Chain A
């Protein structure tokens, strides 16, 4: 194992706010972090080992670990387990790999880099945080499991791929960007969508403001699958034709839901 390694000293009795625990920080053990209602040194909760080389591994993980990789701009964080809320919050670069599941607000307001979560995520994946107007604006998020409600809410850029299902109100008020969902949609997907693209397997679950615009041979698909490994894996390397649903027409939106024809 190389890079810095955080190993929990025991079970956590309160939520742990890992804001500021980033791969390039030499003084990580002395970093003051939130632990329940108080501040604690990170070294009090985790055994810190290894050397600074741009990588940070969190052994074990846990649903109490909030804001892992928040504000990350470079380097790599690997969590060998679950994380709590706000993984990758407002990160602008680097890579975060979560080998378990994540809580709400994963990749919220992400502007660059990549977040890969092997399991499920909670509500508001890539969405705007409370009090914010806009969600994720760039970067790539890959979810191996399913997503909770309001995935991609008010996102305005970047790419989110969900291998599993997406609960109700996915892509609600989506401003721009790309959200791909391989599984089933909850109700009301794309409600209030202004622009942007949804890649879906079926139109079932789309909000009422979407209208069928027919089947098309889209050159754009050929470009996307050649420029994005993630989209190539999702859409298929030979993607070309898709059925296009325009919406949300109820608000004059110019977004689209594309169902790639295989």
Chain B
């Protein structure tokens, strides 16, 4: 399949089930809501090294938040509910509770409950106050700035982690520009996050390594400088590859996000240095979700 001069390879992204939740973080200003959200979702690019994958889903207008202040929705994914229950209160406690004027609310109903205030209330050292209204409990934890307000818990959902596209460009700059265009489009899809820096991975990995104890290592088949030293997936005109990893609350969300990214890259076309779009997989035997690029774009 060739679209606007860009080859859509006959490949698929192989993705896995992950357990995730959404939180609504608010603050007096949109600036501080975003600072809390970005801090809270920092160092959460890959579950392999960070214990979770997290990112900003979208800004939430004040009229839609539980306290009527500007908000940011974040999504956090872990490999299982136990992991999620561990990372969520930890991250809120260190990054949201500490952030000026912030509050933190549940963004998903149903599923296994994940603690927010249920765990963080103890910071109040006995001075914490709960209010139970409309069958929902909130906690007020006195802090030096005033009060930190949060929901008792949030829900969870089984989502999809590890959707991805690879953008093969004729130069580093062109590959990055195409990836940035893709991220801009993909950010608009609700229910998804792109957990890597700026949404982009410049160091996609393969499973395993020649070194004992390494679970993942550089994906040498897509490394342009190694083209002459072994099997390669890169034609001669490709000088750089950028990957975008997608985690979503549903298969549809990841599929929609994948399509939005490919469409944005295709719009730039071969003239802007995009040679092909590919996807990372493990042969199809590891992950139950296969996002076939050509099917998505057909």
Q: Does A204 contact B (CB under 8 A)?
A: no
**A227: which of B103, B134, B140 is its contact (CB, 8 Å)?**
B134
**B147 contact set on A, CB distance < 8 A:** 216, 218-220
A77 and B138 CA atoms in complex are apart in Å by 30
**A195: which of B67, B129, B146, B149 is its contact (CB, 8 Å)?**
B129
Residues 160 to 215 of chain B near chain A (Cβ within 8 Å): none
**B127 contact set on A, CB distance < 8 A:** 254
Majority-rule SS of B interface residues: strand
A137's nearest neighbour on chain B, judged by CB, is: B132
Residues 132 to 157 of chain B near chain A (Cβ within 8 Å): 132-134, 136, 138, 140, 146-147, 149
Q: Does A197 contact B (CB under 8 A)?
A: yes
**A223 contact set on B, CB distance < 8 A:** 66-67, 103, 138, 149
**B131: which of A197, A216, A222 is its contact (CB, 8 Å)?**
A197
**A159: which of B133, B136, B140, B149 is its contact (CB, 8 Å)?**
B133
A70 and B68 CA atoms in complex are apart in Å by 38
A216 and B132 CA atoms in complex are apart in Å by 21
A237's nearest neighbour on chain B, judged by CB, is: B68
> Would B133 and A231 count as touching, CB distance under 8 A?
yes
Task: Tally A-B pairs: CB < 8 A.
Answer: 52
B149's nearest neighbour on chain A, judged by CB, is: A219
Q: Does B69 contact A (CB under 8 A)?
A: yes
A159's nearest neighbour on chain B, judged by CB, is: B133
B48-67 near A? 1/0 per residue, CB < 8 Å: 00000000000000000011
**B130 contact set on A, CB distance < 8 A:** 176
A254's nearest neighbour on chain B, judged by CB, is: B127
**A220 contact set on B, CB distance < 8 A:** 131, 138, 140, 147, 149
> Would A222 and B69 count as touching, CB distance under 8 A?
yes
**B140 contact set on A, CB distance < 8 A:** 218, 220
A158 and B146 CA atoms in complex are apart in Å by 25
A240's nearest neighbour on chain B, judged by CB, is: B68
A159 and B67 CA atoms in complex are apart in Å by 19
> Would A254 and B68 count as touching, CB distance under 8 A?
no
A220 and B68 CA atoms in complex are apart in Å by 11
A156-179 near B? 1/0 per residue, CB < 8 Å: 011100000000000000001110
A201 and B103 CA atoms in complex are apart in Å by 27
A147 and B174 CA atoms in complex are apart in Å by 74
**A227 contact set on B, CB distance < 8 A:** 66, 133-134, 136
Interface centre among A217, A218, A222 (most CB of B within 10 A): A222
> Would A226 and B68 count as touching, CB distance under 8 A?
yes
CB distance from A218 to the nearest CB of B (A): 6
**B132 contact set on A, CB distance < 8 A:** 138, 157-158, 177
> Would B129 and A219 count as touching, CB distance under 8 A?
no
A157 and B126 CA atoms in complex are apart in Å by 18
Q: Does A29 contact B (CB under 8 A)?
A: no
A139's nearest neighbour on chain B, judged by CB, is: B135
> Would B134 and A254 count as touching, CB distance under 8 A?
no
A221's nearest neighbour on chain B, judged by CB, is: B67
CB distance from A180 to the nearest CB of B (A): 11
* Additional 16 contacts, C-beta under 8 A, given A218-B140, A219-B147, A220-B140: A158-B132, A176-B130, A195-B129, A197-B131, A216-B146, A216-B147, A217-B146, A219-B67, A219-B149, A220-B149, A222-B69, A223-B66, A223-B149, A227-B66, A227-B133, A228-B133
Contact surface of A with B, Cβ cutoff 8 Å: 138, 157-159, 176-178, 195, 197, 216-220, 222-224, 226-228, 231, 254, 256
Interchain Cβ contacts under 8 Å between A and B, 16 examples: A138-B132, A157-B132, A176-B130, A177-B132, A178-B133, A218-B147, A219-B67, A219-B103, A220-B131, A220-B138, A223-B66, A223-B103, A224-B131, A227-B134, A228-B133, A231-B133
Kindly list the 9 A-B residue pairs having the minimum CB-CB distance in the complex, ordered from nearest.
Answer: A222-B67, A219-B149, A227-B134, A228-B133, A223-B67, A227-B133, A222-B68, A220-B140, A220-B149
